Structure 1
Amino acid sequence: MNFLAHLHIADHCNSHLMGNLLGDFVKGDPSKQYQTDISNGIKLHRFVDRITDHHPIVQACKPHFSGVARRFAPIALDMFWDHCLAKHWNAFHPDSLDEFVAYAFQTVNAQVVDTLPPRFLLLHSRMWREGWLLSYRELENIEFALHRMSQRSPRMADLTTTFEVLDDEYLSLEAKFPSLYQDVLNQAFEYHQQLIKF
């Protein structure tokens, strides 16, 4: 799951939105670095990444990717699931995607402070300014995002090879999304309930 899914899952679980965005930017034990609600958000993000990566449905999708694309399948699928969520948003949330993104921006932006990780602050600025979350509705923007990510370092260059798989296997992959996402939502909710008990 990527940024849109992490924000939606946070909202679904009544977890801290910014904490869930911080998940990829904080190392070590977050409870030693942040207040409890943010720390729990980071933990929820990590839990979602872990169960998604090892989910039987995701494992069944990986054989679609071969050659150099196989190594980057998890990244490509995370982006693709955000596309599916944006496309089928109304099945998972009562508000429109535009309304939710506006709410998420207002909530997260009000909590941003200079002491947050610099890489997160850069992402925060670009993601909202460039409208990434709404753009995920169109598959061509997933291709653009994968291309942009591939330019981060030479070892990421082959990430671009994954889009052909997403395009060719679109209907098959899309059909797997509702069951996968509903299961992730259910597991995430249960995990968060356990977190806030302690």
Structure 2
Amino acid sequence: MNFLAHLHIAQHNNSSFLGNLLGDFVKGNPLGQFNADIVQGIRLHRFVDSYTDQHELVKLAKPLFSRELRRYAPIALDMFWDHCLARYWQQFHDLSLARFCRQAELQVESESARETNTLPPRFSRVSTLIWQQKWLESYAEIENIGYGLERMALRSPRMAPLAFTGEALVAHYDRLTEIFFQLYPDILDKTAGYISKQ
């Protein structure tokens, strides 16, 4: 799951929006680095990532990528799940996607203002771009997912093959969409169970 799904899951579980966004930017044990609500959000983000990566449905999706690209499949799939959520948003939320994103932006700003510890600089840069460039709304178009993967591929030579994973997403679009509609409701269900145990 990528940014949009993590925010949707955060709201679904009354969890910290900021914490669930921070999950990709904080290393190690977050306890003591941030307030308790944000720590719980970071842990929820990590649970979602771990549960998704190990899910049997995701294991079925990985072979749809060529052997050379398979190691990059989890990144491409995370982006694709956000595409499906954005495209079929009204099946999962009463608000429009644009309105949800605006509320999420305000919530993240509010939580950031209350947090006394310093947020990771990279998170602050990326968060600004998410809202200014309307990344989450743009996920509804599959072409933007391909563009996002190509951008990520530029980060290092090791990541270069990621640029070609968008082609696999398009080639297997219908099958991957079917998998999403089985996968995402299960994740929503499992996160509710995770939160209740905290």
How far off its partner does 1:94 sit? 1.1
CA distance in 2 between partners of 1:32 and 1:107 (Å): 22
Match of 2:67 in 1: 67
Contact 1:68–1:161 at 8 Å: present in 2 too? no
Query: Which stretches of structure 1, 4 residues or more, deviate above 2 A after TM superposition?
Result: 110-114
Q: TM-score, normalising length from structure 1?
A: 0.96
Please state if 1:175 is matched with 2:178: yes
Q: How does 1:1-198 map to 2 (within 5 A)?
A: 1-112=1-112, 115-195=118-198
Contact 1:20–1:41 at 8 Å: present in 2 too? yes
Q: Which moved more, 1:41-50 or 1:105-114?
A: 105-114
Partner deviation per Cα, 1:50-84 (whole Å, 9 max, x = no partner)? 00000000000000011321110000000000000
CA distance in 1 between partners of 2:174 and 2:29 (Å): 39
The code of the aligned residue for 2:118 comes to: T
How far off its partner does 1:139 sit? 0.3
Partner deviation per Cα, 1:111-151 (whole Å, 9 max, x = no partner)? 32581001101111111111100000000000110011000
CA distance in 1 between partners of 2:131 and 2:155 (Å): 20
**In structure 1, the residue corresponding to 2:23 is in which secondary structure?**
helix
The code of the aligned residue for 1:11 comes to: Q
Contact 2:2–2:82 at 8 Å: present in 1 too? yes
Contact 2:5–2:85 at 8 Å: present in 1 too? yes
How far off its partner does 1:28 sit? 1.4
CA distance in 1 between partners of 2:68 and 2:124 (Å): 32
Structure 2 residue ranges without an equivalent (≥5):
none
Contact 1:2–1:82 at 8 Å: present in 2 too? yes
CA distance in 2 between partners of 1:148 and 1:69 (Å): 16
The code of the aligned residue for 2:51 comes to: I
Partner deviation per Cα, 1:158-194 (whole Å, 9 max, x = no partner)? 0011111100000011011111000000001110121
Contact 2:150–2:164 at 8 Å: present in 1 too? no
Aligned length: 195
How far off its partner does 1:106 sit? 0.7
